[in-house]
Structure 1
Amino acid sequence: MTWKAIELEENNAEKLAQLIEEAEAIVIGIGAGMSAADGFTYIGERFTSNFKDFVEKYKFLDMLQASLFDFPSSQEYWAFQSRFVLLNYFDQPVGASYLALKNILKDKNYHIITTNADNAFDVAGYDMDKVFHIQGKYGLMQCSKHCHAKTYQDEALMRRLAVEQENMEVDYRSIPLCPECGAPLEVNKRNAEKGMVEDLIFFEHLDKYNEFLEKNRDKKTLFIEIGVGFTTPQFIKYPFYRELDKNPNALMITMNQKKYQFPERIASRVLWFNQNSKDLTLDVEELLKKWE
């Protein structure tokens, strides 16, 4: 099979819109760059204004460094994380890019995998059966000892911890504890050394994602990376490369202002679009509306 849109002398938005229309299946990998393009960044004013006290004490450079820091106590850990969870999950507003992408994908045969742990897909009203969060979700908690495969959510507690903390500590009596072993709970996000708790819902979503890949393996499948860097290439980037190896009919688009080198064996089937991902997504949405 050939992709007719590749040969078109069009701009990136027109070419991408044509490829989406031409595809029989679409797999989208979403990284931190997409949320950042919508203004949900981990640097600058958004970080310093919400965590001024932690920045002054620990000289953190950005929110990612701070969120991964090994705080000296659970009281301080939850003082930071309760604010972090509200900012990046429960109170994070809908992003324009996510709304546009949802409109682009309506009536399409698609599935999404994301390394983001924010609420972007939930708040934008996606079909969450088609979204796989491989790195966890900030709104969930897990046992810090990983003693059992279950996660918990308590928005009211997060709000109370964020408001009632003093001197960058929460009351020790308010620290959420594991109902099985009594250890403190922690945010459900993957740690490079010890991983994360993967519960029943995680594996259900993993199965749905893998089933979609298998079902569409011989089809004209378009793999689209949006804002995916090289921090954790093992979750989206490398698996996409392997899918192109398995399916000679597949094509990959990478939307990133930074250019990464692609394996020679698939380089002819990878297109790099380096314009702002938010602008490109909104342009594609407008084009597809005109073509309806």
Structure 2
Amino acid sequence: MKSITPCCNKTTQLKQEIDRADAILVGAGAGLSASAGLTYTGVRFEKYFGDFIKKYNFRDMYSGGFYPFDTLEEYWAYWSRYIYINRYHNAPKNVYGSLLKLLQKKDYFILTTNVDHCFQKAGFDKNRLFYMQGDYGLWQCSKPCHQNTYDNERTVKKMFLEQKDRKIPSKLVPYCPVCGAPMSMNLRADLTFVEDEGWHKAAGRYQDFLSRHRGLHLLYLELGVGVNTPAIIKYPFWKMTFQNPMAVYACINLSAPYCPNEIKKQTICIHDDIGNIINKLLILKETSC
């Protein structure tokens, strides 16, 4: 296996690998958006969901999204706030924009479990993105009776503005245009998740990227990936690194990053804030020009 034994600090190592790699496959998890300021607890949560916290004692946005509300009017009051601030607001920090600068002029692809659309809002080419777990900006039939998804921006913004006492007007509750069942979020929470035409095209582009770079010097750059769904990014990145002696696996995470012993010599693990490391990498990039 190719050895990357440190001769300098890990950030400099990673900068060198970014420069040398034939291509970069980025695997992005929730930690990347958290680094950009899209937190689901604390002050931000309390600012937008204080009334729900008072009534239901929710601890964070995520767990509140699974609560069995009594009415669809209250359900969509909660979810419209959730979608509005996490999908249609810009992230407080420009971490995604900095990542785009870092990847400029590189052959890259993004595989992400994030559903907040931050990559496209930052200017990433949508043809280089695979949102595997869905999109806050899309609805689907809750059954589902068909495999289409629907843009929700206009209605969500009306829900957000017109709700009162934790309820939206009944006229804004969304129903499937085909069978009349209530609509639901296009998020991979259970077996009803709709993989629409756009999803399958993105999946095809991802497989094409892997095929075109098989056996080359590929950098698997994992950013903020946790252990909730390791089979989507983390485990495949480990496996593909192990199968390719030319590959390098890099992981940046505030939770202690790690890797199997089998790929240790091909790995760069950085225990730090993602935005902080990206800024350091950009400084190194500028000083080397």
Is TM-score (shorter-chain normalized) higher than 0.5?
Answer: yes
CA drift at 1:46 = 0.4
Q: Does 1:48 align with 2:46?
A: yes
Please tell me the residue identity of whatever aligns with 1:38.
A
Q: Secondary structure of the equivalent of 1:265?
A: helix
2:228 corresponds to which residue? 231
Please give the alpha-carbon distance, in whole angstroms, between the structure 2 residues aligned to 1:246 and 1:194: 31
Alignment of 1:1-292 (within 5 A): 2=2, 6-93=4-91, 95-191=93-189, 193-292=190-289
Please tell me the residue identity of whatever aligns with 2:58.
F
**Which consecutive unaligned segments of at least 5 residues does structure 1 have?**
none
Q: Secondary structure of the equivalent of 1:138?
A: strand
Cα offsets for 1:243-264 (capped at 9, x unmatched): 1233221110110122255333
Report the RMSD for the aligned CA atoms in angstroms.
Answer: 1.6
**Is the CA contact 1:141–1:186 (under 8 Å) kept in the aligned structure 2?**
yes
Q: Alignment identity in percent? A: 36
**Is the CA contact 2:255–2:271 (under 8 Å) kept in the aligned structure 1?**
yes
Cα offsets for 1:110-157 (capped at 9, x unmatched): 101111100211211111110110111101111111211111113221
Distance 1:267 1:9, change over 3 A: closer
CA drift at 1:214 = 1.4
Please give the alpha-carbon distance, in whole angstroms, between the structure 1 residues aligned to 2:287 and 2:47: 41
Please give the alpha-carbon distance, in whole angstroms, between the structure 1 residues aligned to 2:84 and 2:186: 14
Please give the alpha-carbon distance, in whole angstroms, between the structure 1 residues aligned to 2:168 and 2:181: 16
Q: Secondary structure of the equivalent of 1:288?
A: helix
**Is the CA contact 2:2–2:245 (under 8 Å) kept in the aligned structure 1?**
no
Please tell me the residue identity of whatever aligns with 1:90.
Y
Please give the alpha-carbon distance, in whole angstroms, between the structure 2 residues aligned to 1:238 and 1:130: 21
Please give the alpha-carbon distance, in whole angstroms, between the structure 2 residues aligned to 1:64 and 1:10: 40
**Which consecutive unaligned segments of at least 5 residues does structure 2 have?**
none
**Is the CA contact 2:142–2:192 (under 8 Å) kept in the aligned structure 1?**
no
Aligned residues between the structures: 289
Please give the alpha-carbon distance, in whole angstroms, between the structure 2 residues aligned to 1:96 and 1:90: 15
**Is the CA contact 1:82–1:161 (under 8 Å) kept in the aligned structure 2?**
yes
Please give the alpha-carbon distance, in whole angstroms, between the structure 1 residues aligned to 2:208 and 2:68: 37
Q: Secondary structure of the equivalent of 2:186?
A: strand
Please tell me the residue identity of whatever aligns with 2:106.
K
CA drift at 1:201 = 0.2
Please tell me the residue identity of whatever aligns with 1:27.
L
Please give the alpha-carbon distance, in whole angstroms, between the structure 1 residues aligned to 2:242 and 2:27: 17
**Is the CA contact 2:137–2:153 (under 8 Å) kept in the aligned structure 1?**
yes
Q: TM-score, normalised by structure 2?
A: 0.95
